[in-house]
């Protein structure tokens, strides 16, 4: 397949590009360096440096023989987006820079992914809204106008549903009302502006599916943890970006870093907040299965992309237990919750569909945590203690 990956320099985008390339697909990878530039601007650091986007593609080619064509441009600009479909694309790095045709599948990660960043200031809220919605709209129109049979795989988030007091279904809810029934998008209620953009994306794409028979799969993903995938371990220069700051570090990744530098684990509020989690390896499996299982034209498939659920307290206890076994003085500190979110709530999402498609879950075991500790410990000297506690408050 011709696979176009948008946001391909990021934590999930780069390993996704490696996976599809390793399977022999023709991969074009696009990014605008938002993550790297924003980390520099906020001065939050990363666990280790990674080569530039083009260098990564070259290194991959030297090691595997496969080609990932790179494009550096801002997908919020319609010209940039449309060039990927109409052949006017300018590759930054490619062995063969001819255009092979529009993609069979697009994997869309090209969004500002941080809830705390979206809630930092008016400017970061606006940037999040404009970037995320414009990129999705540009993509929807590029597909509609230039390649209507392309399958769009969109990364959404479990946070779209919030924490309702009923079971969370996979995307849809059958409603009975006054003797009649119909199926609707499951009710959505986010608790950050970032998560709200994901709801708006879902609505936008559902509109495109109904109006123009687009083919969309929307993946409701939970917070991801982990560092290694089957391809990134081939060589240290293929590692994915790893953040541990309040903006771009997800909770499990942050807790491991905190434990390694013996900073108390930052449990926000009461710690009863429960979410569905998954290993980065399972993100790749899910995206691959979704890409290989396209909907029919005019159909939107929605999957809940999580493998198990934990409360913040449960995660903290697991990290403390492993940290202490490894000889770290690991403590927990309940800090005032910077977010407005339920700290004690019902949570029962369904998430069987991706497993039914063949995804084999990697669970959060002690061994998985120990391996993460080992990798983080190799970089302990570079960890910035001052970015652990945050500035963003709702």
Q: Cα–Cα distance between 36 and 72 in angstroms, integer?
A: 13
159 binds ligand USQ (CB under 6 A): yes
- Backbone dihedral angles phi then psi of residue 101, each to the nearest 5 degrees: 120, 165
- Kindly tell me which of 78 and 272 has the beta carbon lying closer to ligand USQ: 272
Site size toward ligand USQ, by CB under 6 A: 21
76, 134 contact by CB (below 8 A): yes
Q: Using CB under 6 A, which of the segments 42-50, 71-79, 156-164, 345-353 binds ligand USQ?
A: 156-164
208, 216 contact by CB (below 8 A): yes
Q: Cα–Cα distance between 128 and 130 in angstroms, integer?
A: 6
Q: Using CB under 6 A, which of the segments 98-106, 153-161, 208-216, 278-286 binds ligand USQ?
A: 153-161
317 binds ligand USQ (CB under 6 A): no
Torsion of CA 246, 200, 346, 171, to 10 degrees: -120
13 binds ligand USQ (CB under 6 A): no
Q: Decide if 194 is catalytic.
A: yes
330 binds ligand USQ (CB under 6 A): no
From 110, 125, 392, select the one nearest 245 (Cα to Cα): 392
Q: Using CB under 6 A, which of the segments 66-74, 201-209, 265-273, 354-362 binds ligand USQ?
A: 265-273
Residues in contact with ligand USQ, shown as a per-residue x/- string from 338 to 377 under the rule CB under 6 A: -x-x------------------------------------
Q: What residues pair up with 4 in beta bridges, in sequence order?
A: 28, 106
263 binds ligand USQ (CB under 6 A): no
Q: Using CB under 6 A, which of the segments 72-80, 101-109, 250-258, 280-288 binds ligand USQ?
A: 250-258
Q: How many helices (H) and strands (E) does the chain have?
A: 12, 14
Residue with tokens 């709702």: 394
283 binds ligand USQ (CB under 6 A): no
Residues in contact with ligand USQ, shown as a per-residue x/- string from 98 to 117 under the rule CB under 6 A: ---------------xxx--
User: Which one of 69, 198, 215, 239 is the catalytic residue?
Assistant: 198
Side-chain half-sphere exposure of 312, counting CA atoms within 13 A: 23
SS3 255: helix
Q: Cα–Cα distance between 326 and 328 in angstroms, integer?
A: 6
Q: Decide if 328 is catalytic.
A: no
205 binds ligand USQ (CB under 6 A): no
Q: Cα–Cα distance between 69 and 130 in angstroms, integer?
A: 27
268 binds ligand USQ (CB under 6 A): yes
Q: Decide if 157 is catalytic.
A: yes
Q: Cα–Cα distance between 31 and 34 in angstroms, integer?
A: 8
Residues that bind ligand USQ (CB under 6 A): 113-115, 157-159, 195, 221-223, 250-251, 254, 266-268, 273, 275, 312, 339, 341
As annotated, the active-site residues are 157, 194, 198
């Amino acid at each position: 397949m011709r696979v176009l990956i948008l946001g391909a320099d990021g934590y999930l985008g780069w390993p996704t590009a490696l996976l599809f390339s390793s399977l022999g697909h023709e991969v074009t990878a696009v990014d605008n360096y938002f993550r790297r530039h924003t980390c520099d601007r906020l001065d939050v650091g990363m666990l280790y440096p990674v080569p530039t986007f083009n260098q990564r593609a070259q290194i991959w080619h030297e090691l595997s023989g496969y080609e990932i064509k790179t494009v550096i441009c801002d997908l919020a600009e319609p010209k940039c987006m449309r060039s990927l479909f109409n052949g006017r694309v300018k590759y930054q790095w490619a062995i063969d820079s001819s255009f092979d045709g529009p993609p069979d599948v697009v994997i869309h990660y090209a969004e500002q992914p941080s809830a705390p960043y979206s809630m930092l200031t008016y400017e970061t809220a606006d940037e999040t809204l404009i970037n995320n919605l414009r990129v999705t709209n540009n993509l929807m129109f590029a597909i509609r106008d230039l390649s209507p049979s392309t399958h769009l795989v969109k990364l959404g988030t479990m946070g779209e549903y919030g924490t309702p007091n009923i079971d969370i279904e996979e995307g849809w809810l059958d409603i009975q009302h006054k003797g009649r029934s119909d199926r609707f998008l499951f009710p959505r209620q986010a608790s950050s502006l970032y998560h709200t953009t994901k709801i708006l994306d879902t609505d936008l794409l559902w509109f495109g599916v109904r109006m123009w028979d687009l083919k969309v799969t929307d993946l409701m993903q939970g917070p991801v943890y982990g560092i290694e995938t089957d391809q990134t371990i081939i060589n240290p220069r293929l590692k994915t970006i790893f953040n541990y700051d309040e903006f771009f570090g997800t909770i499990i990744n942050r807790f491991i870093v905190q434990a390694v530098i013996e900073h108390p684990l930052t449990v926000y509020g009461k710690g009863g907040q429960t979410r569905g989690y998954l290993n980065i390896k399972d993100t790749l499996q899910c995206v691959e299965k979704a890409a290989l299982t396209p909907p029919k034209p005019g159909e939107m498939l929605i999957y809940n992309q999580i493998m198990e659920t934990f409360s913040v307290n449960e995660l903290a206890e697991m990290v403390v237990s492993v940290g202490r076994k490894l000889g770290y003085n690991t403590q927990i500190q309940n800090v005032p919750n910077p977010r407005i979110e339920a700290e004690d709530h019902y949570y029962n999402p369904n998430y069987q569909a991706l497993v039914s498609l063949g995804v084999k879950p990697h669970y959060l075991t002690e061994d998985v945590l120990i391996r993460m500790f080992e990798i983080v410990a190799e970089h302990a000297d570079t960890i910035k203690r001052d970015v652990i506690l945050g500035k963003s408050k709702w």
